[in-house]
Amino acid sequence: MSRFLSPEALRCAPYTPGEQPRDQRYIKLNTNESPFPPSPRVLEALSRAEAEKLYLYSDPTCAALNEAVARRYGLGPENVISGNGSDEILAFAFRAFCGEGKGAAFADITYGFYEAQAALFGLEAKRVPLREDFSLNVEDYLDFPGTVVIANPNAPTGMTVSVSGIRRLLERDPERVVIVDEAYVDFGAESCVPLVREYENLLVTQTMSKSRSLAGGRIGFALGSRELIADLNRVKYSFNPYSVNRLSLLAGAAAMEDGEYFRSCCDAVQKTRAWTVKALEERGFAVLPSSANFVFAKSDRLPGGELYRKLKENGILVRWFDKDRIRDFVRITIGSREQMEALAEEIDRLLSVL
Protein backbone atom coordinates (compact mmCIF):
# COMPACT_ATOMS: atom_id res chain seq x y z
CA MET A 1 0.00 0.00 0.00
CA SER A 2 1.07 3.60 -0.52
CA ARG A 3 1.70 6.42 1.90
CA PHE A 4 -1.45 8.01 0.49
CA LEU A 5 -3.83 5.38 1.87
CA SER A 6 -6.39 6.83 4.28
CA PRO A 7 -6.70 5.28 7.77
CA GLU A 8 -10.24 4.32 6.79
CA ALA A 9 -9.00 2.34 3.80
CA LEU A 10 -6.21 0.87 5.88
CA ARG A 11 -8.87 -0.67 8.10
CA CYS A 12 -10.38 -2.47 5.09
CA ALA A 13 -10.26 -6.26 5.16
CA PRO A 14 -10.27 -7.17 1.46
CA TYR A 15 -11.99 -10.41 0.49
CA THR A 16 -9.96 -13.12 -1.21
CA PRO A 17 -12.02 -14.60 -4.03
CA GLY A 18 -11.50 -18.19 -5.12
CA GLU A 19 -8.83 -18.77 -7.73
CA GLN A 20 -9.89 -17.92 -11.28
CA PRO A 21 -7.22 -19.49 -13.46
CA ARG A 22 -6.95 -17.90 -16.89
CA ASP A 23 -6.51 -21.21 -18.66
CA GLN A 24 -9.12 -23.95 -18.52
CA ARG A 25 -7.02 -26.93 -17.56
CA TYR A 26 -8.66 -27.35 -14.15
CA ILE A 27 -11.89 -29.04 -13.18
CA LYS A 28 -13.19 -25.98 -11.41
CA LEU A 29 -15.14 -26.84 -8.26
CA ASN A 30 -14.03 -23.84 -6.21
CA THR A 31 -16.34 -20.86 -6.82
CA ASN A 32 -19.82 -22.39 -6.92
CA GLU A 33 -20.50 -21.67 -10.57
CA SER A 34 -23.16 -23.59 -12.43
CA PRO A 35 -21.87 -26.47 -14.58
CA PHE A 36 -24.43 -25.51 -17.23
CA PRO A 37 -24.29 -22.79 -19.87
CA PRO A 38 -26.82 -19.95 -19.68
CA SER A 39 -30.34 -20.53 -20.97
CA PRO A 40 -30.70 -20.62 -24.78
CA ARG A 41 -32.92 -17.56 -24.35
CA VAL A 42 -29.97 -15.69 -22.89
CA LEU A 43 -27.81 -16.55 -25.88
CA GLU A 44 -30.58 -15.40 -28.18
CA ALA A 45 -30.98 -12.11 -26.30
CA LEU A 46 -27.27 -11.31 -26.70
CA SER A 47 -27.61 -10.61 -30.41
CA ARG A 48 -25.25 -8.70 -32.64
CA ALA A 49 -27.88 -5.98 -32.95
CA GLU A 50 -27.75 -5.48 -29.19
CA ALA A 51 -23.95 -5.48 -29.15
CA GLU A 52 -24.06 -2.71 -31.75
CA LYS A 53 -26.01 -0.59 -29.26
CA LEU A 54 -23.24 -0.70 -26.67
CA TYR A 55 -22.37 2.90 -27.57
CA LEU A 56 -25.48 3.89 -25.59
CA TYR A 57 -25.68 3.85 -21.81
CA SER A 58 -27.64 1.12 -20.10
CA ASP A 59 -30.87 1.97 -18.33
CA PRO A 60 -29.77 3.04 -14.82
CA THR A 61 -33.16 2.08 -13.39
CA CYS A 62 -32.78 -1.48 -14.79
CA ALA A 63 -36.52 -1.29 -15.44
CA ALA A 64 -36.93 -4.27 -17.78
CA LEU A 65 -34.79 -6.52 -15.58
CA ASN A 66 -36.54 -5.43 -12.40
CA GLU A 67 -39.90 -6.09 -14.05
CA ALA A 68 -38.83 -9.60 -15.07
CA VAL A 69 -37.67 -10.32 -11.51
CA ALA A 70 -40.84 -8.83 -10.01
CA ARG A 71 -43.08 -10.93 -12.30
CA ARG A 72 -41.23 -14.09 -11.33
CA TYR A 73 -41.79 -13.46 -7.62
CA GLY A 74 -45.24 -11.88 -7.76
CA LEU A 75 -44.01 -8.51 -6.50
CA GLY A 76 -43.98 -5.02 -7.98
CA PRO A 77 -40.94 -3.48 -9.71
CA GLU A 78 -40.76 -1.03 -6.79
CA ASN A 79 -39.84 -4.03 -4.64
CA VAL A 80 -36.74 -4.84 -6.71
CA ILE A 81 -33.27 -3.39 -7.15
CA SER A 82 -30.74 -4.93 -9.52
CA GLY A 83 -27.00 -4.53 -9.25
CA ASN A 84 -23.60 -5.60 -10.46
CA GLY A 85 -23.79 -8.91 -8.62
CA SER A 86 -25.36 -9.36 -5.19
CA ASP A 87 -22.01 -8.30 -3.69
CA GLU A 88 -22.69 -4.77 -4.87
CA ILE A 89 -26.21 -4.80 -3.47
CA LEU A 90 -24.96 -6.10 -0.13
CA ALA A 91 -22.48 -3.20 -0.04
CA PHE A 92 -25.33 -0.76 -0.72
CA ALA A 93 -27.29 -2.36 2.12
CA PHE A 94 -24.39 -2.10 4.60
CA ARG A 95 -24.14 1.62 3.77
CA ALA A 96 -27.88 2.22 3.74
CA PHE A 97 -28.82 0.54 7.00
CA CYS A 98 -25.68 0.62 9.14
CA GLY A 99 -23.51 3.37 10.53
CA GLU A 100 -22.06 4.71 13.72
CA GLY A 101 -23.65 2.97 16.67
CA LYS A 102 -25.60 0.69 14.36
CA GLY A 103 -23.44 -2.24 13.38
CA ALA A 104 -24.06 -5.57 11.71
CA ALA A 105 -24.23 -9.08 13.12
CA PHE A 106 -23.43 -12.20 11.17
CA ALA A 107 -22.13 -15.71 11.80
CA ASP A 108 -18.48 -16.40 12.59
CA ILE A 109 -18.51 -18.91 9.73
CA THR A 110 -20.27 -17.38 6.75
CA TYR A 111 -19.68 -15.56 3.47
CA GLY A 112 -16.42 -13.65 3.96
CA PHE A 113 -17.71 -10.62 2.18
CA TYR A 114 -19.84 -9.38 5.08
CA GLU A 115 -16.66 -8.87 7.06
CA ALA A 116 -15.01 -7.01 4.17
CA GLN A 117 -17.96 -4.73 3.58
CA ALA A 118 -18.45 -3.95 7.27
CA ALA A 119 -14.79 -2.93 7.39
CA LEU A 120 -15.15 -0.84 4.22
CA PHE A 121 -17.75 1.32 5.92
CA GLY A 122 -15.99 1.25 9.31
CA LEU A 123 -18.88 -0.61 10.94
CA GLU A 124 -18.86 -2.50 14.18
CA ALA A 125 -19.27 -6.15 13.25
CA LYS A 126 -20.54 -8.73 15.72
CA ARG A 127 -19.46 -12.23 14.73
CA VAL A 128 -21.90 -14.68 16.27
CA PRO A 129 -20.52 -18.23 16.61
CA LEU A 130 -22.49 -20.97 14.92
CA ARG A 131 -23.26 -23.95 17.13
CA GLU A 132 -20.73 -26.77 17.36
CA ASP A 133 -22.57 -28.58 14.54
CA PHE A 134 -22.45 -25.37 12.39
CA SER A 135 -26.18 -24.75 12.68
CA LEU A 136 -27.30 -21.17 13.33
CA ASN A 137 -29.25 -20.35 16.46
CA VAL A 138 -31.60 -17.44 15.82
CA GLU A 139 -31.85 -16.87 19.59
CA ASP A 140 -28.33 -15.43 19.42
CA TYR A 141 -29.55 -12.57 17.21
CA LEU A 142 -32.88 -11.76 18.85
CA ASP A 143 -31.70 -8.74 20.79
CA PHE A 144 -28.96 -7.44 18.51
CA PRO A 145 -29.74 -3.77 17.94
CA GLY A 146 -28.18 -3.37 14.46
CA THR A 147 -28.63 -5.06 11.10
CA VAL A 148 -28.70 -8.86 11.03
CA VAL A 149 -27.23 -10.59 7.98
CA ILE A 150 -27.98 -14.26 7.45
CA ALA A 151 -26.86 -16.31 4.48
CA ASN A 152 -29.53 -18.92 3.90
CA PRO A 153 -28.34 -21.46 2.94
CA ASN A 154 -25.12 -20.48 4.64
CA ALA A 155 -21.76 -20.55 2.87
CA PRO A 156 -19.51 -22.43 3.12
CA THR A 157 -21.59 -24.89 5.18
CA GLY A 158 -24.64 -25.19 2.90
CA MET A 159 -26.86 -25.39 6.00
CA THR A 160 -30.19 -23.59 6.37
CA VAL A 161 -32.17 -21.57 8.89
CA SER A 162 -35.92 -22.11 8.99
CA VAL A 163 -38.22 -19.43 7.62
CA SER A 164 -39.99 -19.47 10.98
CA GLY A 165 -36.67 -18.57 12.61
CA ILE A 166 -36.25 -15.59 10.26
CA ARG A 167 -39.82 -14.60 11.02
CA ARG A 168 -39.00 -14.49 14.73
CA LEU A 169 -36.07 -12.17 14.04
CA LEU A 170 -38.23 -9.89 11.90
CA GLU A 171 -40.98 -9.69 14.48
CA ARG A 172 -38.79 -9.32 17.53
CA ASP A 173 -37.62 -5.87 16.47
CA PRO A 174 -39.48 -4.21 13.58
CA GLU A 175 -37.02 -1.29 13.72
CA ARG A 176 -34.15 -3.49 12.66
CA VAL A 177 -33.37 -4.66 9.12
CA VAL A 178 -32.81 -8.36 8.55
CA ILE A 179 -30.92 -9.19 5.36
CA VAL A 180 -31.33 -12.75 4.12
CA ASP A 181 -28.72 -13.57 1.50
CA GLU A 182 -30.31 -16.26 -0.66
CA ALA A 183 -27.49 -16.70 -3.16
CA TYR A 184 -27.95 -20.48 -2.94
CA VAL A 185 -31.64 -20.77 -2.11
CA ASP A 186 -32.70 -22.29 -5.43
CA PHE A 187 -30.92 -25.57 -4.72
CA GLY A 188 -33.43 -26.81 -2.19
CA ALA A 189 -33.90 -24.31 0.66
CA GLU A 190 -37.07 -22.45 1.58
CA SER A 191 -37.05 -18.83 0.42
CA CYS A 192 -38.08 -15.82 2.52
CA VAL A 193 -39.29 -13.93 -0.57
CA PRO A 194 -42.97 -14.58 0.30
CA LEU A 195 -42.38 -12.67 3.56
CA VAL A 196 -41.42 -9.48 1.67
CA ARG A 197 -45.05 -8.35 1.56
CA GLU A 198 -45.45 -8.95 5.28
CA TYR A 199 -42.37 -7.33 6.76
CA GLU A 200 -41.10 -3.85 6.00
CA ASN A 201 -37.77 -4.70 7.59
CA LEU A 202 -36.88 -7.70 5.42
CA LEU A 203 -34.41 -7.51 2.56
CA VAL A 204 -33.76 -10.66 0.52
CA THR A 205 -30.76 -10.68 -1.82
CA GLN A 206 -30.30 -13.16 -4.65
CA THR A 207 -27.84 -13.64 -7.48
CA MET A 208 -27.92 -14.93 -11.04
CA SER A 209 -24.39 -16.29 -10.62
CA LYS A 210 -25.42 -19.72 -9.42
CA SER A 211 -28.83 -21.12 -10.33
CA ARG A 212 -29.15 -18.90 -13.43
CA SER A 213 -25.71 -19.76 -14.89
CA LEU A 214 -24.64 -16.13 -15.20
CA ALA A 215 -21.66 -15.69 -12.85
CA GLY A 216 -19.77 -13.93 -15.64
CA GLY A 217 -22.66 -11.54 -16.29
CA ARG A 218 -22.54 -10.04 -12.78
CA ILE A 219 -26.20 -9.71 -11.97
CA GLY A 220 -27.70 -9.69 -8.52
CA PHE A 221 -30.92 -8.32 -7.10
CA ALA A 222 -32.69 -7.64 -3.85
CA LEU A 223 -36.34 -7.81 -2.92
CA GLY A 224 -37.87 -5.74 -0.16
CA SER A 225 -40.42 -3.15 0.78
CA ARG A 226 -40.67 -0.09 -1.44
CA GLU A 227 -38.97 1.97 1.27
CA LEU A 228 -35.97 -0.33 1.69
CA ILE A 229 -35.49 -0.47 -2.07
CA ALA A 230 -35.65 3.35 -2.27
CA ASP A 231 -32.92 3.51 0.39
CA LEU A 232 -30.70 1.19 -1.62
CA ASN A 233 -31.24 3.29 -4.72
CA ARG A 234 -30.17 6.34 -2.76
CA VAL A 235 -26.80 4.68 -2.18
CA LYS A 236 -26.59 3.30 -5.71
CA TYR A 237 -27.05 6.77 -7.21
CA SER A 238 -24.31 8.05 -4.92
CA PHE A 239 -21.92 5.36 -6.04
CA ASN A 240 -22.45 4.25 -9.63
CA PRO A 241 -25.90 4.73 -11.19
CA TYR A 242 -25.20 2.72 -14.35
CA SER A 243 -23.97 -0.30 -12.48
CA VAL A 244 -25.51 -3.00 -14.70
CA ASN A 245 -24.34 -3.02 -18.30
CA ARG A 246 -26.63 -3.31 -21.34
CA LEU A 247 -25.93 -6.95 -22.19
CA SER A 248 -26.30 -8.11 -18.59
CA LEU A 249 -29.66 -6.37 -18.34
CA LEU A 250 -30.82 -8.40 -21.34
CA ALA A 251 -29.20 -11.63 -20.18
CA GLY A 252 -30.69 -11.30 -16.71
CA ALA A 253 -34.22 -10.68 -17.93
CA ALA A 254 -34.00 -13.59 -20.40
CA ALA A 255 -32.67 -15.93 -17.72
CA MET A 256 -35.44 -14.91 -15.35
CA GLU A 257 -38.06 -15.65 -17.97
CA ASP A 258 -36.84 -19.17 -18.74
CA GLY A 259 -38.30 -20.93 -15.73
CA GLU A 260 -38.15 -24.35 -17.32
CA TYR A 261 -34.43 -24.28 -18.02
CA PHE A 262 -33.80 -22.88 -14.54
CA ARG A 263 -35.69 -25.73 -12.87
CA SER A 264 -33.96 -28.38 -14.96
CA CYS A 265 -30.54 -26.99 -13.98
CA CYS A 266 -31.42 -26.82 -10.29
CA ASP A 267 -32.85 -30.37 -10.36
CA ALA A 268 -29.71 -31.70 -12.00
CA VAL A 269 -27.49 -30.03 -9.41
CA GLN A 270 -29.56 -31.49 -6.56
CA LYS A 271 -29.35 -34.99 -8.05
CA THR A 272 -25.61 -34.70 -8.54
CA ARG A 273 -25.27 -33.35 -5.02
CA ALA A 274 -26.99 -36.44 -3.61
CA TRP A 275 -24.64 -38.64 -5.64
CA THR A 276 -21.63 -36.64 -4.46
CA VAL A 277 -22.59 -36.75 -0.78
CA LYS A 278 -22.92 -40.52 -0.99
CA ALA A 279 -19.62 -40.86 -2.85
CA LEU A 280 -17.81 -38.74 -0.27
CA GLU A 281 -19.35 -40.55 2.69
CA GLU A 282 -18.36 -43.89 1.18
CA ARG A 283 -14.81 -42.55 1.12
CA GLY A 284 -14.79 -41.68 4.80
CA PHE A 285 -15.84 -38.04 4.56
CA ALA A 286 -18.18 -36.24 6.96
CA VAL A 287 -20.43 -34.03 4.87
CA LEU A 288 -22.56 -31.24 6.34
CA PRO A 289 -26.23 -31.30 5.24
CA SER A 290 -26.24 -29.03 2.18
CA SER A 291 -29.10 -27.21 0.50
CA ALA A 292 -26.69 -25.38 -1.81
CA ASN A 293 -24.76 -26.13 -5.01
CA PHE A 294 -21.74 -27.15 -2.97
CA VAL A 295 -20.89 -29.44 -0.10
CA PHE A 296 -18.65 -28.79 2.88
CA ALA A 297 -16.83 -31.96 3.75
CA LYS A 298 -13.92 -33.29 5.76
CA SER A 299 -11.96 -36.44 5.23
CA ASP A 300 -11.11 -38.76 8.12
CA ARG A 301 -7.65 -39.22 6.61
CA LEU A 302 -6.62 -36.08 4.72
CA PRO A 303 -6.55 -32.65 6.41
CA GLY A 304 -8.34 -29.91 4.43
CA GLY A 305 -5.24 -28.01 3.35
CA GLU A 306 -3.51 -31.14 2.14
CA LEU A 307 -6.57 -32.35 0.27
CA TYR A 308 -6.93 -28.95 -1.41
CA ARG A 309 -3.29 -28.90 -2.48
CA LYS A 310 -3.22 -32.48 -3.73
CA LEU A 311 -6.41 -32.06 -5.72
CA LYS A 312 -5.03 -28.89 -7.25
CA GLU A 313 -1.78 -30.63 -8.20
CA ASN A 314 -3.94 -33.14 -10.00
CA GLY A 315 -6.10 -30.68 -11.88
CA ILE A 316 -9.09 -30.24 -9.56
CA LEU A 317 -9.75 -26.92 -7.81
CA VAL A 318 -11.78 -26.89 -4.61
CA ARG A 319 -11.92 -24.16 -1.95
CA TRP A 320 -10.11 -24.39 1.36
CA PHE A 321 -10.37 -21.80 4.11
CA ASP A 322 -7.35 -21.58 6.40
CA LYS A 323 -9.51 -20.52 9.31
CA ASP A 324 -10.31 -21.75 12.81
CA ARG A 325 -13.16 -24.29 13.13
CA ILE A 326 -13.19 -25.13 9.41
CA ARG A 327 -9.55 -25.80 8.61
CA ASP A 328 -10.26 -29.53 8.25
CA PHE A 329 -12.92 -29.00 5.59
CA VAL A 330 -12.96 -28.28 1.89
CA ARG A 331 -15.85 -26.71 0.03
CA ILE A 332 -16.64 -28.56 -3.17
CA THR A 333 -18.90 -27.07 -5.83
CA ILE A 334 -21.38 -29.46 -7.39
CA GLY A 335 -20.31 -29.62 -11.02
CA SER A 336 -21.51 -32.00 -13.71
CA ARG A 337 -21.87 -35.70 -12.91
CA GLU A 338 -18.72 -36.36 -14.96
CA GLN A 339 -16.75 -33.80 -12.99
CA MET A 340 -17.88 -35.28 -9.68
CA GLU A 341 -16.97 -38.77 -10.86
CA ALA A 342 -13.51 -37.47 -11.76
CA LEU A 343 -13.27 -35.99 -8.26
CA ALA A 344 -14.27 -39.28 -6.63
CA GLU A 345 -11.68 -41.15 -8.68
CA GLU A 346 -8.99 -38.68 -7.78
CA ILE A 347 -9.88 -38.96 -4.08
CA ASP A 348 -9.67 -42.75 -4.38
CA ARG A 349 -6.21 -42.39 -5.86
CA LEU A 350 -5.06 -39.95 -3.19
CA LEU A 351 -6.34 -42.16 -0.39
CA SER A 352 -4.78 -45.29 -1.91
CA VAL A 353 -1.26 -43.85 -1.81
CA LEU A 354 -1.44 -42.55 1.77
Q: Tell which positions 40-59 bind a copy of itself, by CB under 8 A.
A: 42-43, 46, 48, 51-59
Nearest distance, CB of residue 170 and a copy of itself, angstroms: 12
Residue 176 or 298 having the CB closest to a copy of itself: 176
Q: For a copy of itself, which residue of 135, 240, 270, 314 counts as binding (CB under 8 A)? A: 240
Residue 135 or 245 having the CB closest to a copy of itself: 245
Options 72-80, 184-192, 221-229, 337-345: segment touching a copy of itself (CB under 8 A): 221-229
Options 11-19, 130-138, 153-161, 337-345: segment touching a copy of itself (CB under 8 A): 11-19
Residue 113 or 134 having the CB closest to a copy of itself: 113
Nearest distance, CB of residue 135 and a copy of itself, angstroms: 28
Q: Residues 306 to 325: which contact a copy of itself by CB under 8 A? A: none
The DSSP bridge partners found for residue 74 are none
Print the SS3 string covering the chain. CCCCCCHHHHCCCCCCCCCCCCCCCCEECCCCCCCCCCCHHHHHHCCHHHHHHHHCCCCCCCHHHHHHHHHHHCCCHHHEEEECCHHHHHHHHHHHHCECCECEEEECCCCCHHHHHHHHCCCCEEEECCCCCCCCCHHHHCCCCCEEEEECCCCCCCCCCCHHHHHHHHHHCCCCCEEEECCCHHHCCCCCHHHCCCCCCEEEEEECCCCCCCHHHCCEEEEECHHHHHHHHHHHHHHCCCCCCHHHHHHHHHHHHCHHHHHHHHHHHHHHHHHHHHHHHHCCEEECCCCCCEEEEEECCCCHHHHHHHHHHCCEECECCCCCCCCCEEEEECCCHHHHHHHHHHHHHHHHCC
Nearest distance, CB of residue 302 and a copy of itself, angstroms: 27
Options 30-38, 161-169, 189-197, 307-315: segment touching a copy of itself (CB under 8 A): 30-38
Q: Residues 96 to 155: which contact a copy of itself by CB under 8 A? A: 96-100, 102, 116-117, 119-121
Q: Residues 178 to 217: which contact a copy of itself by CB under 8 A? A: 200-201, 209, 213-217
Nearest distance, CB of residue 287 and a copy of itself, angstroms: 24
Q: Residues 161 to 180: which contact a copy of itself by CB under 8 A? A: 175-177
Cross-sheet strand order for the sheet of 80-83: 80-83, 220-224, 202-207, 178-181, 147-151, 104-107, 125-128
Q: Which x/- pattern over 58-87 shows residues binding a copy of itself (rule: CB under 8 A)?
A: xxxx-xx-------------------xx-x
Asked if residue 222 lies in contact with residue 204, where contact means CB atoms within 8 angstroms, the answer is yes
Nearest distance, CB of residue 189 and a copy of itself, angstroms: 21
Pairing of strands 147-151, 104-107: parallel
Nearest distance, CB of residue 251 and a copy of itself, angstroms: 7
Q: For a copy of itself, which residue of 75, 140, 159, 228 counts as binding (CB under 8 A)? A: 228
Nearest distance, CB of residue 44 and a copy of itself, angstroms: 10
Residue 48 or 131 having the CB closest to a copy of itself: 48
Q: Is 333 in the site for a copy of itself (CB under 8 A)?
A: no
Residue 53 or 349 having the CB closest to a copy of itself: 53
Q: For a copy of itself, which residue of 151, 153, 246, 316 counts as binding (CB under 8 A)? A: 246
C-beta atoms surrounding 69 within 10 Å: 25
Asked if residue 342 lies in contact with residue 316, where contact means CB atoms within 8 angstroms, the answer is yes
Residue 162 or 238 having the CB closest to a copy of itself: 238
Q: Is 26 in the site for a copy of itself (CB under 8 A)?
A: no
Phi then psi for 314, rounded to 5 degrees? -105, 25
